[in-house]
Structure 1
Amino acid sequence: MEAEGKELRRGWTTGTCATAAAKAACSALLGHGFPDPVEVTLPGGQRPAFSLALEELGDGFARAGIIKDAGDDPDVTHGALIIATIRRGEQGKGLRFSAGKGVGTVTRPGLPIPPGEPAINPVPRQMITASIAEVAGETMDFEVEISIPDGEALAQKTLNPRLGIVGGLSVLGTTGIVIPFSCSAWIHSIWRGIDVARAEGLTHVAGSTGMTTEKAVQAHHNLPETALLDMGDFVGGMLKYLRKHPVPKVTVAGGVAKMTKLAQGMLDVHSKRGLADLEALAKVAVEAGADAALADEIAKANSVLHAFQLAEAKGLSLGNHVAALAWKTAAKALQSPEIALEVLVFDREGRLVGEAPFMPSDQTSASPLPDRNRRT
C-alpha cells in the first residue's frame, strides 16, 4: 500500500489481537506458560506472532493482553489493549464467549450476532476457537472473556451506539489484517446499518455524506437514529446493497459539491476520485435558466460552492437541477420498483437548496424535478 509516495503499513484487527491473547491465556491456564511471542493462524493462512503486553495467572483463570497495532490506518482502536481472560467452563458445553469491560453487547436484531450476545463477530469467534484448539486439543470447555479497558469511550467514536451495540466496542475482522485507509470497513458498516434498519421494520432510510447533512435530513423527515446511514463518499456501496436488500424509501443527502459529483455520474464522491466538472455544471445552469454571462462565471468558479453562490446571487435555483441529475445516477444503481428514491442537497449550514422528490427508482426516464422547477 502506498499513499503519496509513502509505503503504508498494514495492521491487525481486534479479532486477531483477541485471538492471540486468548491462545496465550489458555496455554498458561493449562500449565504450559505464556508463549511470548504467540503465533496465530489468520483466515488466509498467514501466521503472525505477537508480543504480550499483559500476563496474569490467578486462581482458576489466566489473562493475557495484546496492544493493537492498526498499522497506518486511522483506526480508533490503534494502541488499545485487547485482553482475553480464560476460565474453565462447564464440562461438555464447549466454548462460551462473554463481554468484559469495554466490549459491547448486541441489543438489536440485524447484525451478524444475535441480541444478548457479546459483540464478538463470527470470524473472530472462529479464529479464537481454532487457536484454543491448538493448545487444548479436544478439551474445549472454556469461558472466554474479551475486554478492552478504554473500549466504552472509544465506542462513542464509532457507529456502535447507533447499531444498538452498548457498553463498548465490537471485536471485528474478516481477514485478520487491517488494510490502511480501507474502504471495505466503512462500506461494511453501512451494510450493517441497513441490516439493522430492515430488522427493525423501518420503511425509510437516509444516507448522508457528512454530519451536517445527516442532522439536516433527520430534521427534514423526523427520522429515528437507526434510519440514518453514514454513507460518506460511498454512495454506490450503499445503493448496491440496498438493491439486494431493499427498503421502501431511500433518501440520498449530501452537500452541493458531492451531490454535483453524483449528478455527473460518480458513485464514489471522494475527492481522490476526481473533482466536479465546473464546465458541465455551467451547462446545467443554462438548463436551469442561466444566461451566458452567469454560465461563464460558473465555469470559471473557484469551487462548486462558489458556483452555487454565484447562481443564488442571480436568483437562480441550481440545486433542484443538480438533485434531479444526481437522482438519475443513483436510480441507475438501484433500478428497483420496490424502492422510492429521493435526493436532497444541503448547503454547509444545513439549509435545503435542492431536491428530487420520491419516485420509484426504476423510472429512470422520468424527470424527478419538482413540478414548480420544471422548465416549460
Structure 2
Amino acid sequence: MEQKILRKGYTTGAHTFASFRSALDTLLATNEACITKTEKIDNDDLDVTKGCEIIVALDFCQKEFQLNPTSQKPHYFEYQTNSLEIFAGLGVGVVTKRGLKIAPPYPAINPAPLNAINEYFKIRTKEKQNLHLKCCVSVTDGENIAKQTANSKVGVLGGISILGTTGIVKPISSSAYIDSVKIEIEFAIQNEYETIYFTLGNSAFQVACSKASSEAVIEIGNFVYDSIELATKLKAKEVIFLCGIGKMTKVYQGFKNTHNRFGVIDFKKLQEDIEENLGYKVDIEETLTVKGISQELEKVGLLEDFYKMIAIKANKQIKQWFETSNVKAIILEQKEVLGW
C-alpha cells in the first residue's frame, strides 16, 4: 500500500510575519492604516490552531485597536528615528508569569517571529524618518482555542501564543503538541519545581494534581519518548511518569508513542514475561486485554506483583532510551501511588 504523504504547514508565527509584511508594504505605499488577514494553512499535524484566522493591524496610533484586556506592555523596536510597538489583540495571549521565552507582561509572541518582524521593519523603513507605528496581532476566537492548550496554566491569558522557530510545522513529529510539552517543562524548571509529573490520561492527571501544583503536571498525550527526551535534555531534576497499566505495558514493550496507530501490545510476550517473573501462565486465549489479565491475576493474588513487574520493566526501557534520564515510571493503579 502506498504511504500517504503528510502535509506540512506554517506556524502561527510564519503567518503573522507574512501578514505583517503585507500590512507594512501597503501602509508605506498608501500612507494609511492597514489590516491584513490570513488563514492558518491546514496540515496533518495535531494542532488546535489549524484553520484559525490571524489578523494584523498596522496604524499610526493604537486607539482603534481591540486589545486583549489583560494588562500588557507592547514589544518595542527602534531603528534610527523610527519605532514599532506590537500589542496583543483579542485572541492573542499576554504572558503573566515568568519562566517562558517572553517575559511578563508582554504579548505571547515568540522571539523568532518577533525578530523576523523587526528585521523586515528595519529593511523597509531605513529611508524613512520619524515613523512611529503601532501593530496589533489578533486571532479570531483565539480565547476559546487557547482553552484547548496549556496556556492558562503557564500564565498566558486571553488567547493563544504566536509560536514558531523555523516557520514550518512538520506533521510526522506532531511538533505543535511536543512544543507545548517543551514550554511546560521549561516553565516548571524555571519556576524551581523539584519534581515534574508527566501524565497520560485524565485519571493520571487528576491524581497528579492532587499531589502537586498543576503547574508541575504536564499531560504528554501519547508522546512518551519525545517527552522524556525533552526532560532529559532540559535536565529536569526529577520526573514522575504516571499512567494506567495498559499504556505502561506498551512502554515496557518499547513503544515510543502509545497511540494505537503505532501498534498493539504483544500479548504472547506479555504472557511469557508473566510466567517467567511471576510463575503463572495467564490465559491469553480467553482475554486479549491488559484489564482482563489484571482481573485474572487479582484472583490468584498476583495483581500487585504484576504492577511491580510492569513498572520495573518500563523503567528499564526508559533507561535504555536515555541512560541519564531522571524519569521514574509509576502505574496509576499501584498502591504506591497513594503513598507518594
- Amino acid across the alignment from 2:168: I
Q: What does residue 16 of structure 2 align with? A: 18
In the TM superposition, what is the alpha-carbon distance from 1:357 to its structure 2 partner? 11
Runs of 5+ consecutive residues of structure 2 not aligned to the other structure: 62-77
Give 1:262's match in structure 2, choosing from 251, 258, 273. Answer: 251
Helix, strand or coil: the match of 1:258? helix
Provide closer, same or farther for how the CA distance between residues 124 and 4 of structure 1 changes in structure 2, counting only shifts above 3 A.
Answer: farther
Q: Which string of whole-angstrom CA distances, capped at 9 and with x for unpartnered residues, describes residues 136-171 of structure 1?
A: 345474322211131111100112112211110011
CA distance in 2, matches of 1:79, 1:195: 28
| Structure 2 CA distance for partners of 1:299 and 1:279, relative to 1, 3 Å | farther
2:308 paired with 1:320:
yes
When residues 217 and 117 of structure 1 are mapped into structure 2, their CA distance, relative to the original with a 3 A threshold, is same
What residue in structure 2 maps to residue 121 of structure 1?
110
Q: Distance in 2 between matches of 1:127 and 1:168?
A: 22
| Aligned-pair CA distance for 1:301 | 3.2
Q: Percent identity?
A: 31
CA distance in 2, matches of 1:63, 1:325: 57
Secondary structure of 1:118's match? coil
For 1:102, give the aligned amino acid.
G
Equivalent pair of 1:320/1:355 in contact (CA under 8 Å): no
Deviations 1:346-369 (A, max 9, x none): 3xxxxx2365999xxxxxxxxxxx
- TM-score (normalizing by structure 2): 0.82
Partner SS state of residue 207, structure 1? strand
Aligned to 2:193, the other structure's residue is in SS state coil
Give distance in 1, aligned partners of 2:10 and 2:286: 46
The residue that corresponds to 2:220 in the other structure is 231
TM-score, structure 1 as length reference: 0.75
1:76 is aligned to 2:12: no
Q: Distance in 2 between matches of 1:230 and 1:121?
A: 22
TM superposition shift of 1:21: 1.6
- 1:41-95 per-residue CA deviation (whole Å, 9 max, x = no partner) reads xxxxxxxxxxxxxxxx5xxx32111122223434322222211111348873633
Within 5 Å, which residues of 2 pair with 1:283-362? 283-292=272-281, 295=282, 297-298=283-284, 301-317=287-303, 318-336=306-324, 339=326, 341-346=327-332, 352-353=333-334
Residues 253 and 343 in structure 1, CA contact (< 8 A), matched pair in contact too: yes
Deviates more, 1:251-260 or 1:263-272: 263-272
1:142 alignment counterpart: 133
Q: Corresponding residue for 2:188?
A: 197
Query: Against the structure 1 CA distance between its residues 67 and 267, is the aligned structure 2 distance closer, same or farther, given a 3 Å change threshold?
Result: closer
User: Higher relative CO (CA 8 A, sep ≥ 6), structure 1 or 2?
Assistant: 2
Work out the CA distance in 2 between the residues paired with 1:134 and 1:71.
Answer: 31
Could you give the per-residue CA deviations for residues 235-272 of structure 1, whole angstroms, max 9, x where no partner exists?
A: 22222222233333311111222211211233333333
Q: Any idea what SS the aligned residue of 1:305 has?
A: helix
Find the aligned partners of 1:82 and 1:181 in 2 and give their Cα distance: 24
Alignment partner of 1:327: what SS? helix
The secondary structure found in structure 2 opposite 1:162 is: coil
The aligned length equals 319
Note the 1:150-169 alignment, pairs <5 A.
150-169=141-160
